[in-house]
Amino acid sequence: MDEEIFKKTPGKTPNLNEYTKNQYSAEKQIEMWNGKINAAHNAIDRHCTTWRKNKIALIWEGEKEERKYTFNDLREETNRFANLLVELGIKKGDRAFIFLPRVPELYIGFLGIVKTGAIAGTMFSAFGPDAIKDRLKDSGASILITNSELKKRVDAVRHELPELRHIILTDSEKATHDTIPFSEAKKMPDKFDVARMDPEENAFMLYTSGTTGKPKGVVHCHWAIMHQHMTAKWVLDLQDDDIYWCTADPGWVTGIAYEILGNWSNGATTLVHEGRFDPEKWYSLIQKHKVTIWYTAPTAIRMLMQSGESYKKYDMSSLRHMCSVGEPLNPEAIRWGIKAFGLAFHDTWWQTETGGMLICNYICLDMKIGSMGKPFPGITASIVDDAGKELPIGEEGNLAIKPGWPSMMKVIWNNPKKYEEYFKGGWYISGDRAKMDKDGYFWFIGRADDVIKTAGERVGPFEVESALIEHKAVAEAGVIGKPDPTRGEIIKAFLKLRPGFSPSPQLENEIKEFIKSRLAGHAYPREIAFVESLPKTRSGKIMRRVLKARELGLPVGDLSTLEEY
């Protein structure tokens, strides 16, 4: 474990001792109505009874234009959209999904859905037809918000989605036989009776990949905003004069927890950039908007490192705090941040299932470079064995959390058995391997399963394998994550071809493009190896650990169940 220490930043820092005395103090932090709550109301509407009513909530940087929305603007826009949804027949508990790039309608749509008491779902705009179908079909979504270009992918699987009643298009002014313009909301009243929900009722859901089976629907409740609010306040250190930029897409949980809910609940002015990653553009946005708090991913940081010293051309002096999320943050990236900006990137650990940050490096605490940090106040974390028994300090085991924090997932949609598998011996078992040192800092070791973390995104090998074998040339497929200095991991596929097909660079490229179109731009294999056979158990399960061990030159372990290789 790297014991290099970065001393705490002087100046404005949150007082965690003060916070600890008021852990999850709902009456002081979140507005409720006789025990009822609505996450969207807390994110936007409650600010409109304060001086923040006319404060800028959203700065949106599109490819060709910039728009700004006050908290009152968002209150009225989300009210209008909620009224449109009600007119379309949406009811409490219905599922409404959003399939859009980072445009204002995504944020307005999400909050409008939550206001009605329906469950908001998001999908990454790079998803292909199969990924879309899996999510909409399993959730039983009745409404989808998208644009004309992305709708083409939905159309390819629409016949398999009988519960999808309405498609709302953000870039159309005319209704058709199967679409409704988003602009219809402009005709609706700007006042709405926000649904008053029990704190434990469902608010939003996302699908996350596992090592086997289809992606699973992780559902979070309205009370999740309590944890998201508090962590945004104490870890991101959001204050009223900050300009905050989270680079995550709301297709992933970070973009919901800390680009919609936790940040706006704190009244933070939030920057959203529609475009792709580009170092010069990113630096220019920080300079233009005088960004003070920056929350991004290790992959982006490593790509910025590789882009050279172009940051020197820009004024980055507005930055006062930087955080990282999505995958472990390597020490080199932290040292680069200190060299380039005079600030360290502070790693935060959490998952889709946890709904918010759980183990963090705080602005007010000394950082052990390379460590995950310490548990958030009110969170009990430990290292346990496979039976759920706590292990001694310094011993590697399963990273585990005591259940019951506000943003913990409520259910796995339509799969209660899978939900129960997360818990053992009174602990939530995260699926990560880690150690805890004598000072209470946690250190990430690796995943306990085969889920691939590439460029900060979770990719399930089974999902990729399933798509691969749909290609006419592929008979069998095995997929692993291979370490990569830039992306954390890349996807590598081992393919057995059907008779009549031979390995070639042309076929390799064709298969890559096929997967990009079926799943997503980040979910394709960057490396492909054509093999004569794959290692399998006698029951036919491909042994990915054998593929990975041989690829990396590691011991393959027990082969007693191996059928062939």
The distance of Cα 1 from the centroid of its chain, to the nearest Å, equals 27
CA 77 – CA 81 distance, rounded (Å): 6
The Cα–Cα gap between 415 and 25 comes to 32
Residue 11: per-residue pLDDT: 44
By residue count, the chain amounts to 565
Residues 479, 370 share a domain: no
Which residues, in sequence order, are bridge partners of residue 492?
A: 480, 527
What pLDDT score was predicted for residue 537? 58
Q: Cα 263 from chain centroid?
A: 15
Q: What is the pLDDT of residue 540?
A: 56
Tell me phi and psi for residue 183, to 5 degrees. Answer: -65, -15
Q: Does residue 441 sit within a domain? A: no
Domain count, the chain: 2
Q: What are the tokens at 493?
A: 């596929």
Last residue of a domain, one of 433, 462, 478: 433
Please enumerate in sequence order all residues whose Cβ is within 8 A of that of 20, keeping only pairs 6 or more positions apart, or say none: 377, 378
Pair (86, 114) in one structural domain:
yes
- Do 415 and 529 fall into the same domain? no
Expressed as residue numbers, the domain containing 509 is 452-564
pLDDT of residue 51: 96
Residues 246 and 101 reside in one and the same domain: yes
Number of H-type helices and E-type strands within the chain: 17, 31
Same domain, 309 and 405: yes
Residue 487 lies in a domain: yes
Pair 405, 465 in one domain: no
Is 447 part of a structural domain of the chain? no
The predicted-structure confidence for 164-180, as pLDDT tens digits, reads as follows 999 999 999 999 989 99
pLDDT score at 29: 74
Separation between Cα atoms, residue 396 and residue 435, nearest integer Å: 5
> Which of the listed residues 403, 433, 463 is the one where a domain comes to its end?
433
Interaxial angle between packed helices 298-306 and 279-289, expressed in degrees from 0 to 180 and rounded to the nearest 10: 110
Q: Quick one: 408 and 526 in the same domain?
A: no
* Domain finish residue from 433, 462, 485: 433
| Residue 378, in any domain of the structure | yes
Residues 226 and 265 in one domain: yes
User: Same structural domain for residues 393 and 493?
Assistant: no
Per the domain annotation, does 440 fall within a domain? no
388 and 533 co-located in one domain: no
Residue 457: give its domain's CATH number.
3.30.300.30
The tokens for 280 are: 């010069």
Residues 6 or more apart in contact with residue 329 via CB below 8 angstroms: 298, 301, 345, 347, 370
Contact 70, 55 (CB under 8 A): yes
Domain presence at residue 389: yes
Same domain (yes/no): 273, 389: yes
CB atoms within 10 A of CB 302: 21
Whether residues 208 and 275 fall in one domain: yes
**Total-model pTM:** 0.85
Under-50 pLDDT residues of the chain: 1, 10-14, 18-24, 26-27, 538-539, 560-561, 564-565
- Cβ atoms within 10 A of the Cβ of 407, count? 27
The CATH number assigned to the domain holding 203 equals 3.40.50.12780
Q: β-strands 119-123, 95-99: how paired?
A: parallel
* Cα end-to-end span (Å), the chain: 36
Q: Does 443 reside within a domain?
A: no
Q: Would residue 444 count as lying in a domain?
A: no
Query: Which residues neighbour 261 within 8 Å (Cβ) at sequence distance 6 or greater?
Result: 39, 42, 43, 224, 225, 228, 229
